[in-house]
Amino acid sequence: MNVNCEKGVFAMKYVLYNPKAGQGVTAESVNMSNFDESISYLNVTEIDNYADWFASIEPDADIILCGGDGTLNRFVNETKDIKFENKLYLYPVGSGNDFVRELGINKEQAASFCIDDYVKNLPTVTVNGED
pLDDT, tens digit, 9 for 90 and up, residues 7-55: 444 458 888 887 777 665 545 555 555 555 578 888 888 999 999 999 9
Per-position b or e across 33-59, b if 16+ CB within 10 A of its CB: eeeeeebebeebeeeeebeebbeeeee
Nearest C-alpha neighbor of 6 from the set 110, 118, 113: 113
HSE-CB for 99 with a 13 A CA cutoff? 24
Give the span between the Cα atoms of 54 and 3, in whole angstroms: 23
Q: What's the one-letter identity of residue 95?
A: S
List, for residues 84-100, the tens digit of each pLDDT value. 989 998 888 766 688 88
